[in-house]
Amino acid sequence: MASHFRSYIWDPVLIVSQILLMQCIYYSFLGLWMVGVDSLVPTSQSLDQIFSYEALGFASMQGRLSMMAFILNSLTCALGLWFFVRRGKQCLDFTVTVHFFHMIGCWIYNSHFPAVLSWWLVNVACMALMSVIGEYLCMRTELRAIPVNTGPKSNL
């Protein structure tokens, strides 16, 4: 049987560990971005900033700053995709998985399905940013030229 270049091997342990790692990166960096954003405006810190639908709004300064934290978090998660997933073809899959689990967490936290337009807009924009930037970084790494030494071997 002929071997294929970069043949994909089904490894569920690797996939589950990458999903868990990306969730950890998502929430830990989102928390750090929220702390940084909260230092700009005096406000109380709570889980509502991460999980509440109403926390992401265009009307209040706190809502706009929370949106900024979510957008900055998508950039750091794109770096997480680049460091830990390393495959451009899988960036969209992991991005949608991370945001799907975030939606489930928000649904459980709020006890109802998200119906706030600003929440959907922010999350779709963050998914697009995280996926496109992650794919760009991974594809740049994957398409890097492989150096071939054409000189004579000195360690024969």
Q: What is the DSSP string of 28-68?
A: HHHHHHHHHHHTTS-----THHHH-STTS-SSSHHHHHHHH
CA 143 to chain centre: 22
Region 15-25 average pLDDT: 94
Single-letter amino acid, residue 85: V
Region 107-124 average pLDDT: 92
- Number of H helices and number of E strands within the chain? 5, 0
Please give the mean pLDDT across all residues of the chain.
87
In tens, the pLDDT along 34-91 reads 999 888 887 778 888 899 988 888 888 888 889 999 999 999 999 999 999 888 889 9
Exposed, middle or buried by CB within 10 Å (0-12, 13-18, 19+), for 61? exposed
pLDDT, position 152: 67
- The greatest distance separating any two alpha carbons of the chain, rounded to the nearest whole angstrom, comes to 71
Confidence of residue 1 (pLDDT cuts 50, 70, 90): very low
Q: For the chain, which residues make up each domain, given as ranges?
A: 12-37+60-142
Buried b (16+ CB within 10 A) or exposed e, 89-123: ebbbebbebbbebbeeebeeebeeeeeeebbeebb
Single-letter amino acid, residue 80: G
In tens, the pLDDT along 125-135 reads 999 999 999 99
pLDDT, position 39: 87
User: Do residues 138 and 85 lie in contact, with contact meaning Cβ atoms separated by under 8 Å?
Assistant: yes
Global pTM? 0.83
